[in-house]
Amino acid sequence: MTAKGRVNLKNICKRFGSFVALDHIDLEIEPVEFFALLGPSGSGKTTTLRMIAGLDSPDEGVIEVDGVDVTHAPPGERDIAMVFQNYALYPHMTVRDNIAFPLKMDRVAAADIKRLVLQAAETVDIDHLLDRRPGQLSGGQQQRCALARAIIRQPKLFLLDEPLSNLDAQLRLQTRVELKKLQRSLNVTAIYVTHDQEEAMTLADRMAVFLDGAIMQIGTPEEVFNRPRTIQVAAFIGSPPMNLLPANLQGTTLTIEGRDFELSAAPPTQAESVIMGTRPSHVRIDPNGIPAQLYLSENLGESYLLNLYLGEHLVKVRVAEMLGVTDGDTVPISFDVNAIHLFDANTGLRIERG
């Protein structure tokens, strides 16, 4: 049997009145993949997920699940389960009845329902709470109840829209791990919407980075982190994201704030006006570096984050120790220019270097 749960979005457009919420997006999600839709609020993630679920339909384009055109098929015909941010549990029903609900709609026999509810509840560790109502559960327990209801029909597609965002920080981290375990054990395709890049990085096999109704990049977390395709992606990924500084490129010479740096090879571009990107942990404090002003240092526990002004540009530098510098000091910094990222300042696109 071939694996199920392949999703294809082809040239999808969605407008709300004259507003273009999705502008010709293409996406191919593999069976059993954990796929994240990552992007800032308003970038079109939920709209995309709702169309895959059949809660909304596109103005243009085709949606296929396992090769079948489902663009205009009703949700009930799609073998899909969805978990929403607010869980959408029925408050007047017990946990047991909430979980059983999809099976009752499918007219499954009572004995089977009983067995499957217990099984789903055990999977997410709420089998001791079956007689309570949602109002008598903590946020984390409600979330598990919503998950149990979603997995009970063993759908081939599992759609999750910011399912952890109502949990407190600690529970969110814990549930994140369990969610990944759950998806692996169920062997289903999961499509997971989040604005939290750390969630996408840790959970996803692959992700699509959304911005303003378009997909900026599709790739594994490593690809997106190590080779962001555009300046916008670079500015979004990483906590904090990489520093982005305007620079001038002439052959192998990169000029940053009036200081020349020599690259080992000339980047394959005609662009002279570039943006150089460097992660906070890759900036060095160097007595021969460019003088910057330490605006504010932040203690992150295991490291410090120095907020420096290089001219008018803020540069964040992660250091293991404070090295005797205090806020207001002049701190010279330097860049390992062979490890930096380069972008064309005009097109915003990454300049790929060998």
Ligand X SMILES: Nc1ncnc2c1ncn2[C@@H]1O[C@H](COP(=O)(O)OP(=O)(O)O)[C@@H](O)[C@H]1O
What are the residues binding ligand X (CB under 6 A)? Answer: 16, 19, 21, 39, 41-47
Distance of closest approach, residue 29 Cβ to Mg ion, in angstroms? 18
Distance of closest approach, residue 27 Cβ to Mg ion, in angstroms? 16
Distance of closest approach, residue 304 Cβ to ligand X, in angstroms? 33
Partner touching 348 among Mg ion, ligand X, none, CB below 5 to 8 Å by kind? none
Partner touching 299 among ligand X, Mg ion, none, CB below 5 to 8 Å by kind? none
Distance of closest approach, residue 23 Cβ to ligand X, in angstroms? 11
Residue 86's nearest CA partner among 46, 30, 56 is 46
3-state DSSP of the chain = CCCCCCEEEEEEEEEECCEEEEEEEEEEECCCCEEEEECCCCCCHHHHHHHHHCCCCCCEEEEEECCEECCCCCHHHCCEEEECCCCCCCCCCCHHHHHHHHHHHCCCCHHHHHHHHHHHHHHCCCHHHCCCCHHHCCHHHHHHHHHHHHHCCCCCEEEEECCCCCCCHHHHHHHHHHHHHHHHHHCCEEEEEECCHHHHHHHCCEEEEEECCEEEEEECHHHHHHCCCEHHHHHHCCCCCCEEEEEEEECCEEEECCEEEECCCCCCCCCCEEEEEECHHHEEEEEEEEEEEEEEEEECCCCEEEEEEECCEEEEEEECCCCCCCCCCEEEEEECCCCCEEEECCCCEECCCC
Q: Which two three-digit tokens encode residue 326?
A: 């205090």
Among positions 9, 32, 46, 160, the unique one binding Mg ion when judged by CB under 5 A: 46
Partner touching 44 among ligand X, Mg ion, none, CB below 5 to 8 Å by kind? ligand X
- The reply on whether position 48 binds Mg ion by CB under 5 A is no
Q: Residue 16 or 295: which CB sits closer to ligand X?
A: 16
Q: Residue 45 or 78: which CB sits closer to Mg ion?
A: 45
Minimal CB distance residue for Mg ion: 46
User: CA 75, 77, 78, 83 torsion: positive or negative?
Assistant: positive
Partner touching 16 among ligand X, Mg ion, none, CB below 5 to 8 Å by kind? ligand X
Q: Residue 43 or 123: which CB sits closer to ligand X?
A: 43
Distance of closest approach, residue 75 Cβ to ligand X, in angstroms? 16
Q: Residue 80 or 215: which CB sits closer to ligand X?
A: 215
Partner touching 47 among ligand X, Mg ion, none, CB below 5 to 8 Å by kind? ligand X
Partner touching 31 among Mg ion, ligand X, none, CB below 5 to 8 Å by kind? none
Distance of closest approach, residue 210 Cβ to ligand X, in angstroms? 6
Partner touching 295 among Mg ion, ligand X, none, CB below 5 to 8 Å by kind? none
Distance of closest approach, residue 158 Cβ to ligand X, in angstroms? 18
Q: Residue 35 or 261: which CB sits closer to ligand X?
A: 35
Q: Give me the residues that bind Mg ion (CB under 5 A), please.
A: 46
